[in-house]
C-alpha cells in the first residue's frame, strides 16, 4: 500500500505544490490574524473532493475547521492538526521574493508562512484526502483540524475547539507538521510565561536626583535579579532526560553547538520597555515585559513564587500575560516510532527525539495525555525574511505524514 500512496503523491506533485503556493498567496499575518482567505482555499479543496467538514468559530475572522472519517469501531483515533495564521512581515522590501507571492524559485516555494506552517497544514489536508479514499482498508477514526490564532495562542484557535468539541478532536494521537527539519521529531516543548512588570516612583526634576528614586534604574536592578531564576537547579523526569541525552549530539549537529542545552535550560528575554517621560525628568514609571521559557522540570508556580519573593527587595507590580506550561509525551509512542521509521525510509535521515524551543498547538494534546508528535520542514526564514521550503522537502513531509497516518490506522490484515 505504501507504493500506491507514494504513487498518488508522485502523480499529484504539481497539484500539491500549487495548493501550497495558493495558501501562501492568501496573506494571514497575525496580528491581525484574519484567516478567512486561507480557509476559503481549504474549503474549496474539500468541496471539490466531496469531503464534508464544519467550521467552528468564536471570532468570524478566525475560522477553524473540523472534518472526520470513521473507518471502524476501534479506539484508534488519529488527529491531524495544522494552523493557517502566520507571522507578520516586517520589511517586505528586504525579501528576495514578495512574501505573499508564493514564488517558485531555486527549487523552493517562497513566502511568509510556507515553513510555519502552510507546508505542514497542506500535508495534513492531503493526508486526510488520501486516507479518505482508502476507507475500507483502515480502522478507527481520522480527524482533520485546521485552526487559526496559533501564533498568539489566543482563545479563538485550537483552544476554542477544545472548549466546544473536545470529544471530537482529542483522539488517541496527534500528528502536526510544524517546522522541525528532517533531523528531528518533537515530542515536547519548553513552556513560556510572559510577565509585565510596572515600577512607579514619585519622580522629579532630573537635576534633583535626591528627591526620588529613578524607575528605570530600579527596573534595571530588578531585571538583574529576575535573571537569577535562569540559574535555578531543577530535576528533569528520568525518561525525558534519557531521551534528550541520546539526541543531544544530533541536535547540536543540526542546529549548532549548544542547541540541545537550550531546550533543557531556563531562558529569559526582556522584550519591551516603556518608561519616561522625559530626558531631564526622573523617570517616574517603567513598564517592561519579560518572556521566560521553562524546560520540563520547572513549573510556572516555581517561577511565580520566585518573582513574589523578590518583593521583599524590590517594589513593583506585575501581571501574568500568558502561560504555556512545559509539556512532553512518551518519546517512543506508537506514532513516534511509525513516523521515525517512515521518515528514515523517505529522507535517509533518522530523526532524533527532541524538545521544541518554541510552542505549538501540539501542547494542547499533550496537556490531555495524548501523544502528539511534530514533524515538518526546516524553519528557514521563519519569523524573519526569505522564508522558504524546497519542493522536495515539502513533498517529503507529505510522504512521511501520509505513510505514518496510514500505518497507524491500517487494518490488521492490510
As a whole number of angstroms, the distance between CA 111 and CA 100 comes to 6
Closer residue to Zn ion, CB minimum distance, 9 or 24: 24
Cα(first)–Cα(last) distance of the chain, in Å?
Answer: 8
Nearest approach in angstroms of CB 347 to Zn ion is: 21
Q: Which stretch binds Zn ion (CB under 5 A): 29-37, 95-103, 108-116, 289-297?
A: 108-116
Nearest approach in angstroms of CB 273 to Zn ion is: 27
Q: Which stretch binds Zn ion (CB under 5 A): 31-39, 53-61, 114-122, 257-265?
A: 114-122
How many residues of this chain interact with Zn ion, rule: CB under 5 A? 3
Closer residue to Zn ion, CB minimum distance, 17 or 117: 117
Closer residue to Zn ion, CB minimum distance, 117 or 329: 117
Q: Which stretch binds Zn ion (CB under 5 A): 27-35, 109-117, 275-283, 307-315?
A: 109-117
* DSSP reduced 3-state for 139: coil
Nearest approach in angstroms of CB 150 to Zn ion is: 6
Closer residue to Zn ion, CB minimum distance, 178 or 325: 178
Nearest approach in angstroms of CB 157 to Zn ion is: 11
Closer residue to Zn ion, CB minimum distance, 117 or 307: 117
Closer residue to Zn ion, CB minimum distance, 180 or 284: 180
Closer residue to Zn ion, CB minimum distance, 77 or 110: 110
Q: Which stretch binds Zn ion (CB under 5 A): 110-118, 276-284, 310-318, 399-407?
A: 110-118
Nearest approach in angstroms of CB 87 to Zn ion is: 8
Nearest approach in angstroms of CB 283 to Zn ion is: 38
Question: Which x/- pattern over 170-199 shows residues binding Zn ion (rule: CB under 5 A)?
Answer: --------x---------------------
Nearest approach in angstroms of CB 65 to Zn ion is: 17
Closer residue to Zn ion, CB minimum distance, 190 or 410: 190
Nearest approach in angstroms of CB 180 to Zn ion is: 11
Whether the CB-CB separation of 374 and 163 falls below 8 Å is answered with: no
**116 binds Zn ion per the rule CB under 5 A:** yes
Q: What are the grid coordinates assigned to 199, written together?
A: 515600577
Give the one residue of 80, 117, 215, 250 binding Zn ion; rule: CB under 5 A: 117
**146 binds Zn ion per the rule CB under 5 A:** no
Helical axes 2-11 vs 391-409, angle rounded to 10° = 150
Residues that bind Zn ion (CB under 5 A): 116-117, 178
Amino acid at each position: 500500500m505504501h507504493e500506491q500512496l507514494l504513487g498518488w503523491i508522485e502523480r499529484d506533485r504539481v497539484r500539491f505544490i500549487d495548493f501550497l503556493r495558493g495558501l501562501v498567496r492568501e496573506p494571514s499575518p497575525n496580528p491581525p490574524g484574519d484567516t478567512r482567505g486561507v480557509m476559503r482555499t481549504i474549503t474549496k479543496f474539500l468541496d471539490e473532493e466531496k469531503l464534508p467538514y464544519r467550521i467552528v468559530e468564536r471570532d468570524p475572522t478566525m475560522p477553524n475547521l473540523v472534518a472526520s472519517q470513521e473507518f471502524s469501531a476501534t479506539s484508534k483515533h488519529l488527529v491531524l492538526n495544522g494552523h493557517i495564521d502566520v507571522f507578520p512581515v516586517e520589511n517586505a522590501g528586504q525579501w528576495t521574493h514578495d512574501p505573499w507571492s508564493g514564488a517558485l524559485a531555486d527549487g523552493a516555494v517562497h513566502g511568509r508562512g510556507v515553513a510555519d506552517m502552510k507546508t505542514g497544514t497542506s500535508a495534513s489536508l492531503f493526508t486526510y484526502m488520501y486516507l479518505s479514499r482508502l476507507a475500507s482498508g483502515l480502522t478507527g477514526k481520522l480527524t482533520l483540524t485546521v485552526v487559526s490564532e496559533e501564533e498568539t495562542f489566543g482563545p479563538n484557535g485550537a483552544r476554542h475547539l477544545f472548549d466546544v468539541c473536545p470529544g471530537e478532536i482529542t483522539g488517541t494521537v496527534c500528528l502536526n507538521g510544524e517546522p522541525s527539519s528532517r533531523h528531528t521529531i518533537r515530542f515536547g516543548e519548553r513552556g513560556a510565561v510572559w510577565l509585565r512588570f510596572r515600577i512607579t516612583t514619585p519622580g522629579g526634576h532630573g537635576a534633583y536626583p535626591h528627591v526620588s528614586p529613578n524607575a528605570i534604574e530600579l527596573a534595571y536592578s530588578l531585571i538583574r535579579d529576575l535573571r537569577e531564576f535562569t540559574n535555578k537547579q531543577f530535576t528533569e523526569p528520568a525518561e525525558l532526560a534519557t531521551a534528550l541525552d541520546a539526541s543531544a549530539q544530533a541536535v547540536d549537529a543540526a542546529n549548532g553547538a549548544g542547541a540541545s542545552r537550550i531546550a533543557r535550560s531556563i531562558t529569559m528575554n526582556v522584550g519591551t520597555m516603556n518608561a519616561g517621560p522625559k530626558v531631564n525628568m526622573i523617570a517616574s514609571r517603567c513598564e517592561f515585559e519579560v518572556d521566560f521559557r521553562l524546560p520540563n522540570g520547572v513549573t510556572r508556580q516555581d517561577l511565580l513564587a520566585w518573582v513574589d519573593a523578590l518583593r521583599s527587595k524590590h517594589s513593583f507590580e506585575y501581571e501574568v500575560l500568558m502561560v504555556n506550561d512545559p509539556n512532553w509525551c512518551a518519546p517512543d509512542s506508537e506514532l513516534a516510532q511509525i513516523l521515525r521509521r517512515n521518515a528514515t525510509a523517505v529522507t535517509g535521515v533518522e530523526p532524533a527525539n527532541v524538545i521544541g524551543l518554541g510552542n505549538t498547538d501540539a501542547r494542547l494534546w499533550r496537556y490531555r495525555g495524548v501523544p502528539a508528535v511534530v514533524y515538518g520542514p526546516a524553519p528557514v526564514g521563519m519569523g524573519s525574511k526569505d522564508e522558504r521550503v524546497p519542493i522536495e522537502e515539502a513533498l517529503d513531509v507529505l510522504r512521511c505524514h501520509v505513510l505514518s497516518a496510514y500505518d497507524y490506522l491500517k487494518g490488521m490484515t492490510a
